[in-house]
Amino acid sequence: MRAISLAFHDVADGPPQTVSAAVYAIDRETFEAHLCAIEKERRFVSAMRQRAQWDMDRPIFLTFDDGRFGNYESAAPALEQHRWHGHFFITTDWIGNPGYMNSGQIQELHNRGHVIGSHSSSHPERMSALSEDKLLREWRDSCAALSSIIGQPIRVASVAGGYYSRKVAKAAAQAGVEVLFTSEPTCEASLVDGCLVLGRYSIQRHTAPDVCGRIAAGQIVERWRQTSLWKAKKILKLLAGDTYITLRRRFFSRRLMGQRAIR
């Protein structure tokens, strides 16, 4: 079983206001260029609401992490122009905060056919470092909060912060999650306690639309580039632990200041 999943975050115009936006936020025009590049390469973009077998050769899934307002305002309407649906993964403690979707907007996306899933309750920096109890609480509480908004059980989720381990998937399965997206750049799927675990290729601010299109088309060189970078980062994360997070934050804060200075 194989699938190509792309991980987007925010779609918003203007200078980035946060470290995360400096890395991940894409302006509307570029996002639309990404979608056109995907459409050029692939005819079908799929939506998965629960664990399923699929006949298509390598379906493509478009996912959006964190629950930013730009996903409601810009990403969803752009997807609908292509008659596609996205997977919107919400960090439930942030619902209604400035810059994030509120409950009504989440419900509206669900009513318009998009898939709503969990992105944890509190977005821990290292999910894989949490105890089993805490992990279970992150998944259960967030799924319950979202379920009460859309009136349906939540079956799909994505791992916050990219820190995945088998323990993270086991807790998700226990909370009723049937499909879990990680940040590991791979198209291979696996099963953990009945939960389907799918990797994703990350689309960042600097990713060119044609690169996005080539990843969607399954071209091996672009996918291999992300995979080799990811493997190097994984070793660094293991060796450096919390120091990795501190260094990363410092590096991207400098980049954010640089981007603001240019504008």
* Residues at the interface with Zn ion (CB under 5 A): 65-66, 160
Nearer to Zn ion, 66 or 222 (CB): 66
CB of 182 to Zn ion, least distance (A): 12
Nearer to Zn ion, 10 or 65 (CB): 65
- Alpha-carbon distance of 136 to 65, in angstroms, equals 19
Q: What is the bridge-based pairing of β-strands 189-192 and 195-198?
A: antiparallel
Instruction: Find the DSSP H helices in 93-201.
Output: 103-111, 132-150, 166-174
CB of 189 to Zn ion, least distance (A): 21
Nearer to Zn ion, 20 or 190 (CB): 20
Nearest Cα to Cα of residue 159 among 196, 119, 215 = 119
Give 195's strand partners. 192
The strand ranges marked E within the chain are 4-8, 60-66, 87-90, 115-118, 156-158, 179-181, 189-192, 195-198, 201-202
CB of 261 to Zn ion, least distance (A): 26
Nearer to Zn ion, 65 or 178 (CB): 65
CB of 66 to Zn ion, least distance (A): 5
CB of 11 to Zn ion, least distance (A): 15
Nearer to Zn ion, 25 or 37 (CB): 25
- CB-based closest residue to Zn ion: 65
Q: Tokens in use for 86?
A: 């996205």
